[in-house]
Amino acid sequence: MLYETLHFSPGGDRAVEVELGDGMNFTLNFTVHRLVAAIREARLPAIEDIIPELASLQINYDPDRISYEDLIREIAAIYERIGSDVSGSLPSRLLTLPIHYFDEETTACIEDYRKIYPEKQIDPDLLCELNGVEDRAALARRHSGTEYWVAALGFWPGLCSLLPLRPGSRITAPKYNPPRTWTPKGAVGIGGALCCIYPDRTPGGYQLIGRCPAPIYDGLQRLPAFRNSLALLRAGDRVRFRPVSAEECAWIDAEVAADRYEHDVVEYQVFSVDQYLDWAKAQGEKA
């Protein structure tokens, strides 16, 4: 839920953390993005960067140009001006990404973990059990049956936190305990109410469901989608997963390796939160 007032805390001597609420849902995250957009429009000269998060945002600033106290007064005034009502619209790209469900690489990762922790239930089977899904095929249909809202980027360069926009496609699961020491690049996982794509081979704790062969981070900026950024996704984008076979997944891997792969990106559209909330309400769910 939204707090009555913003909660501020220092993030070292050059940043301030601004908390808007304590939940994890679309309406709260959209309010975060509305505030980020309003702060950017204000063009405060001392602000160096703004990082939207799930229920908060971080502002990096130059303390030689503005004090912490003056900055939080400015941000509070902006928030009071825009209000906390969830309405309006934001520019939003739509990216369609391939996914090979229950692939060999994530399966090998799960089995490697179970050599040390044999009591760990196999990830897709656990997801089916916890979410009342009949089998793996139904799990894949549920996961791919919605667009996802890119709520935030973080934890690792390019790693995205995705919220399903279709209420009936929600999948939830606890994270690994303890976490894995490695996760395949491109692995797609579920942790809590979030979905993520691992941008590189990293430690991790989300329950694995498949692999996306299309890169979401490119430090060398080799592919066209990375000409303007090392990260493919941006907060406020939408993602749609397209199931692919093992053969098509291997073909995409080869295209990426040869620097020929082209991502499926529909450039900025207008995403109306009012229309979305009306639609979600018609589904009998709260967004």
Residues 49, 96 within the same domain: no
Going by C-beta distance under 8 Å and a sequence separation of 6 or more, which residues neighbour residue 261?
A: 214, 215, 223, 252, 255
pLDDT of residue 155: 84
Here the CATH number for the domain that contains residue 43 is 3.30.1360.40
Residues 185, 269 within the same domain: yes
Q: Which residue has the tokens 């405060």?
A: 44
Q: How far apart are CA 207 and CA 120, in angstroms?
A: 11
DSSP state, 225?
A: G
Contact 59/45 with Cβ under 8 angstroms? Answer: no
Here the CATH number for the domain that contains residue 140 is 2.40.100.10
Residues 67, 99 within the same domain: no
Last residue of a domain, one of 85, 118, 152: 85
Question: What is the end-to-end Cα distance of the chain in Å, rounded?
Answer: 12
Phi then psi for 187, rounded to 5 degrees? -60, 140
Mean pLDDT value across residues 216-227: 96
Q: How far apart are CA 49 and CA 234, in angstroms?
A: 14
Domain span at 270: 91-282
Residues 247, 158 within the same domain: yes
Residue 85 has pLDDT above 80, yes or no: no
Let me know if 113 is exposed, middle or buried by CB neighbors in 10 A (0-12, 13-18, 19+).
Answer: buried
Residues 149, 270 within the same domain: yes
Residues 52, 171 within the same domain: no
Going by C-beta distance under 8 Å and a sequence separation of 6 or more, which residues neighbour residue 56?
A: 17, 18, 19, 20, 32
| pTM given for the model | 0.91
Last residue of a domain, one of 16, 51, 85: 85
Residues 76, 95 within the same domain: no
Q: Which residue has the tokens 């995409």?
A: 252
- Residues across the chain: 287
pLDDT of residue 285: 63
Going by C-beta distance under 8 Å and a sequence separation of 6 or more, which residues neighbour residue 132?
A: none
Residues 81, 109 within the same domain: no
Contact 193/24 with Cβ under 8 angstroms? Answer: yes
Quick one: tokens of 151?
């709520």
Chain-centroid distance, C-alpha 286: 19
- DSSP β-bridge partners for residue 17: 9, 58
User: 147-153 and 160-164 as β-strands: parallel, antiparallel, unpaired?
Assistant: antiparallel
Sheet holding 15-21, edge to edge: 2-10, 15-21, 56-61, 47-52
Closest CA to 78 of 112, 40, 111: 40
Instruction: Give Cα separations from 236 to 112, 148, 160, 164, 244 (angstroms).
Output: 35, 10, 11, 13, 25
Contact 51/30 with Cβ under 8 angstroms? Answer: no
pLDDT of residue 136: 98
In-domain check, residue 241: yes
Residue 287 has pLDDT above 60, yes or no: no
pLDDT of residue 249: 98
Lowest pLDDT segment from 16-20, 130-134, 156-160, 205-209: 156-160
- DSSP β-bridge partners for residue 224: none
Residues 43, 101 within the same domain: no
In-domain check, residue 137: yes
Closest CA to 172 of 142, 152, 202: 142
How many domains, the chain? 2
In-domain check, residue 222: yes
User: 238-243 and 89-101 as β-strands: parallel, antiparallel, unpaired?
Assistant: parallel
Residues 46, 118 within the same domain: no
Residues 45, 114 within the same domain: no
Interval 137-187: pLDDT, tens: 999 999 999 999 999 998 899 999 999 999 889 999 999 999 999 999 999
pLDDT of residue 213: 99
Residues 113, 253 within the same domain: yes
In-domain check, residue 58: yes
In-domain check, residue 244: yes
What average pLDDT is seen over the chain? 94
In-domain check, residue 287: no
Contact 166/187 with Cβ under 8 angstroms? Answer: no
Last residue of a domain, one of 85, 113, 145: 85
